[in-house]
Amino acid sequence: KRAIDLAIEEINSAGGFIVGNDTIRFDTIAYDDKADPTEATNVARKLIDRDGVKFLLGYCCSASTGAVASFIGREDVIMLVGTAGARAITAAGNKNVFRTRPPGDYTGAAAGNFIAAQGVKKLGVLAVRDNTLFVQYRDEMLKAFKAAGGEVVAVETFGGHDRDMTAQLTKLRGLQPDALFISGYVEQAAFSHRQAHELGIGVPRYGFSGGSPEQFLKVATNEQMEGAWDLLSIEFNAEVLGPVAQAFEQRYKTKYGEPPSPNSAFAYDQVYVLRDALRAAGTTTDLKKIREAIANLPVPSEALLKYLPIDGKMFDGKGQAYIANGAFQWEKGAWRFRTELPSDPKGYSEYLKTIRN
């Protein structure tokens, strides 16, 4: 929400933008869906039925987003999804749903190949079990790792509210893997890395979380995190993304007193997608024209992330955008970019056409 507010403030303070003969400024009505599917449905109904909103932006968590996406195709609105990564959100093919974040399994395959390429032969896995994004990422990562000749010694899991993973880690330690793979939300991943270090597990640790250094250091120390890897889409990282992202980071710090979270850019970029689509459509009321404008939109010049367009368009036929994948390693208190992972947005887009969930 902070990122969306900042983008809107930038656009409005510059005098808005022209659509047809009108000067347009954005305004927002915001509710918290509490990452709960029922609450998300109630909030969406309130926005559509009571508030008369035609454009829904934001959406962080897959479960709550999926609940809204399941019926939004029947509504006269446009839904722009940010960080929710479950494949079904765009696989369903609703023409009024567009997502800036790629699905988790798109990145998982690239991660599995990378881990195998590091010489890992036996991999132990510790992962959250009740989150669609992480499960889909994990499954594709394991599929690619095994296809490259790797062996998975065990897959241990934890629930969404667990914070003590020592039992699972102790079991994995006894199986003597060459490396660990840890995935889950930031706090869970941080506890897992901390506890692995406390148990003396000295093998390389790969993972998928997307958390900032500040978030990890609330739980783990620099020493406990040193050398760990995070394999993910290249979300917000000012050092990697360059001057436009660096300027955004400074504006964000000035306004909010802390750095942006890694996935804030997905939400920020949504606002400029909507602005450019309204401009291209020449209307703020004809949703069919606006929807078609988004479907044919190139990447906005203000976009923070490194999108990989398909045939010059930011979104594919399912309303899905793709960004580059990267390998980051913890070094002296920060995630350092090491290399870009091979990505195949066109191939994944063709795959997405064949499924509906």
pLDDT in tens, 200-239: 999 999 999 988 899 999 999 999 999 999 999 998 889 8
SS3 string, 113-129, reads HHHHHCCCCEEEEEEEC
Q: For 79, phi and psi rounded to 5 degrees?
A: -115, 120
Question: Are 123 and 179 a contacting pair, CB within 8 Å?
Answer: yes
- Measured CA to CA, the distance from residue 234 to residue 342 in angstroms comes to 12
| Each residue's pLDDT tens digit, 59-69 | 999 999 999 99
- How would you write the pLDDT of the chain (357 residues) with one tens digit per residue? 999 999 999 999 999 999 999 999 999 999 999 999 999 999 999 999 999 999 999 999 999 999 999 999 999 999 999 999 899 999 999 999 999 999 989 999 999 999 999 999 999 999 999 888 899 999 999 999 999 999 999 999 999 889 999 999 999 999 999 999 999 999 999 999 999 999 999 999 999 998 889 999 999 999 999 999 999 999 888 989 999 999 999 999 999 999 998 889 999 999 999 999 999 999 999 999 999 999 999 999 999 999 999 999 999 999 999 999 999 999 999 999 999 998 889 999 999 999 866
CA atoms within 13 A on the CB side of 40: 22
Q: For 23, phi and psi rounded to 5 degrees?
A: -95, 125
What is the dihedral sign for C-alpha 60, 351, 209, 194?
A: positive
Question: Are 165 and 171 a contacting pair, CB within 8 Å?
Answer: no
CA distances from 180 to 148, 207, 312, 325 (A): 17, 8, 39, 20
Query: 3-state DSSP call for residue 1?
Result: coil
- Measured CA to CA, the distance from residue 76 to residue 275 in angstroms comes to 19
129 class by beta-carbon count within 10 Å (0-12 exposed, 13-18 middle, 19+ buried) = middle
42 class by beta-carbon count within 10 Å (0-12 exposed, 13-18 middle, 19+ buried) = middle
Question: Are 232 and 179 a contacting pair, CB within 8 Å?
Answer: no
- Measured CA to CA, the distance from residue 67 to residue 121 in angstroms comes to 39
Other beta carbons less than 10 A from residue 126's beta carbon: 27
Predicted pLDDT of residue 104: 86
Predicted pLDDT of residue 357: 61
Other beta carbons less than 10 A from residue 123's beta carbon: 27
- Measured CA to CA, the distance from residue 140 to residue 96 in angstroms comes to 27
Predicted pLDDT of residue 239: 87
Predicted pLDDT of residue 343: 85
Question: Are 283 and 289 a contacting pair, CB within 8 Å?
Answer: yes
